[in-house]
Amino acid sequence: MIEIDASTPPELVPLAWLVGGWSGSGVLSYRLGDETIEREFGQRISFAIGAGPWLEYRAAAWLEGESPERPYFVESGFWRLARPLGSGDVSPGMLPPSGAPVFATADAVETLRVPIEGEPAARDGAAPAPTGFEVEAVLARPDGVAEVYLGLARPARIDLATDAVVRTASAREYSAATRLYGLVDDHLLWAWDVAALGQDLRTHASGRLARDD
């Protein structure tokens, strides 16, 4: 059962099941030509409610047997519902809001709900067609790669795919990715497929994390 804190801003309720710290382990398995690179790693992920209608995200991973205080992988970013920006938002740059937030109530947020394509209503009409909320995530890593993901949030599941990838001149080739996050038996399960180093989109890594006490 997903419990949502009553103080959660309405616009973040569709993402609120992610909020908190998560720790556990995962497996890297990425095929490069005839070789498959495989490693086990420990991981910590956190989602925190930000100062505005977004979640602040951070993830770190360390190779099995090494110290979590010296992660070999880190990334951070921001997650939010995808919706038009209004006068109540900061943007562009540091321009402050000039009006009131539009999606400050549960009813207003409900107007952002969209049908999920490919998942029709039950044939007997007993249940409506499933719906969700479109989401955006902007993630960055110190290897010189930044990604913009678009996707869909539904209860206890989020599917994301890259809409844009930006790399510095020194970054290694990386062109696309998809990610899946799900809540299963009170654990955060995730999977990450990647197209990089001249390879097509394929399995890259996955993990299973428990909520921190």
User: Residue 186 belongs to a domain with what CATH number?
Assistant: 2.40.128.20
- 2 within domain boundaries: no
What is the DSSP pairing of strand 202-211 with strand 20-32?
antiparallel
Q: Is the peptide bond preceding residue 92 cis, with omega within 30 degrees of 0? A: yes
pLDDT at 104: 94
Angstrom distance (rounded) from CA 29 to CA 36: 6
Beta bridge partners of 145: 141, 167
Q: Report helix, strand and coil shares of the chain as percent, to nearest 5.
A: 5, 55, 40
One digit per residue, the tens of pLDDT, for the chain of length 213 reads 677 887 899 999 999 999 999 999 999 999 998 999 999 999 999 999 999 999 999 999 999 889 999 999 999 999 999 999 999 999 999 999 999 999 999 999 999 999 987 766 555 556 677 899 999 999 999 999 999 999 999 999 999 999 999 999 999 999 999 999 999 999 999 999 999 999 999 999 999 999 997
Residue 135 lies in a domain: yes
Collect all residues with Cβ–Cβ distance below 8 Å to 78 and sequence separation of at least 6.
50, 54, 55, 56, 57, 137, 138
Q: What pLDDT does 1 receive?
A: 60
Residue 3 falls within a domain, yes or no? Answer: no
Position 117 scores a pLDDT of 79
The structural domain count of the chain equals: 1
What is the pLDDT at residue 123?
59
Q: Is residue 20 part of a domain?
A: yes
Q: d(Cα 64, Cα 145) in Å, to the nearest integer?
A: 24
Is residue 4 situated within a structural domain? no
**Rounded CA separation 54/79 (Å):** 6
| pLDDT for res 122 | 53
Domain assignment of residue 111, given as a range:
10-211
> For residues 211 and 129, what is the distance between their CA atoms, to the nearest angstrom?
31
The whole-angstrom distance between residue 188's C-alpha and the CA centroid of its chain comes to 12
| 49 domain-assigned | yes
Cβ contact 190:137 at 8 Å: no
pTM of full prediction above 0.75: yes
Classify residue 142: in a domain, yes or no.
yes
Asked whether 62 and 82 are in contact (CB, 8 A), the reply is no
The pLDDT score that the predictor gives to residue 126 is: 62
> Does some domain include residue 152?
yes
Q: Are 173 and 197 in contact (CB under 8 A)?
A: yes
Output the pLDDT for position 169.
98
Give the pLDDT of residue 129: 79
